[in-house]
Amino acid sequence: MWSHPQWQSEFYGSGTKPAQRLERYARVFHTVEGNTTFYATPSPSTVSNWLAATHEDFKFTFKLPKAITHQQMLKHSQPLLRDFLTVMEPLFERVGQWTIQLPAAFGPEHLAQLQQFCHHFPQGFALGLEVRHPAFFAKGDAEQALNQWLIESNIDRVIMDSRPVFAAKPTTAAVIDAHQKKPKVPVHAIATAKHPMVRFIGHPDQDANLEFFAPWLSKLPQWIEQGKQPYLMIHTPDNVEAPQLALKLYQQLNEMLTLPRLNPFPAQKSQPQLPMF
């Protein structure tokens, strides 16, 4: 996301208008998880505004609409996909990955539907798949078949790391809500293509996240050394402090890698530049 109202004071600054948020977000971070498209296909004018607000090095990772992934379960959804991609076409050069987030009900028995569905994308589209069915995490035949097909098809498997948020005690509304909505699945840090995506769902105590992030301090550099370009998406239970956690974890990772520079938050223009995601 880039338009959380509670980011106004510490991230954007009081002078930032809602229509300016994406442009100012893109000054700091070079990617965003486009969750808005999961709920509805944007209007052509909105797509044009997103294009105008970002630069050529910025990458969106848009989720497919839930009408396709959850309501249709990918069945008979080619017209919906075609209509969605038609609207999104002006942003094709800015999309780093199209994410197919599937519900927990989508299990191994539906794998053929997924394989057929992916044939409808244009050649060269970078796809990421997020599964939630327990069988795809059991290290058995179902997971092996899925991973092998992803490798052969050059499709990335999205990695959910929800350990931090589930380590938090459910004593606040934000944590309780996260426990109810976020999947509690094992972390299988596998790169099946060139753009592995890690969705890190953080603990409300910023420092408590460092222990959970430690394994990624070795895995992410390893992938980069192999020529891959990972995506790292940082969340907190209510996402209020997600930019601050992203900065904290970035600083940890920057000790292991030479990363691009990170501009100061728009609300902190007087601070010197920091390295960037």
Closest CA to 72 of 123, 110, 99, 43: 110
Q: What mean pLDDT value characterizes the chain?
A: 94
Spell out where the chain has E strands: 31-34, 59-63, 95-101, 127-130, 156-157, 159-161, 197-201, 231-235, 261-262, 274-275
Model pLDDT for residues 28-51, shown as the tens digit of each residue? 999 999 899 999 999 999 999 999
Comparison of pLDDT for 81 and 271, the residue scoring more: 81
pLDDT for position 277: 43
pLDDT for position 110: 97
**b/e string for 23-41 if b means 16 or more Cβ within 10 A?**
bbbbbbbbbbbbebbbeeb
Contact present, 207 and 168 (Cβ < 8 Å): no
pLDDT for position 28: 95
Model pLDDT for residues 153-210, shown as the tens digit of each residue? 999 999 999 999 999 999 999 999 999 999 999 999 999 999 999 999 999 999 999 9
Quickly state the pLDDT bin for 1 (edges 50, 70, 90).
confident
Please state the domain extents for the chain. 31-157, 159-259
Quickly state the pLDDT bin for 258 (edges 50, 70, 90).
confident
> For the residues 238-263, what does the mean pLDDT come to?
93
pLDDT for position 268: 84
Residue 272 has pLDDT above 90, yes or no: no
pLDDT for position 67: 97
> For the residues 235-264, what does the mean pLDDT come to?
93
pLDDT for position 131: 98
- Asked if the 31-157 domain carries CATH number 3.40.50.970, the reply is no
Return all residues near 15 (Cβ < 8 A) that are at least 6 apart: none
Residue 269 has pLDDT above 80, yes or no: no
pLDDT for position 261: 84
pLDDT for position 47: 98
Model pLDDT for residues 71-86, shown as the tens digit of each residue? 999 999 999 999 999 9
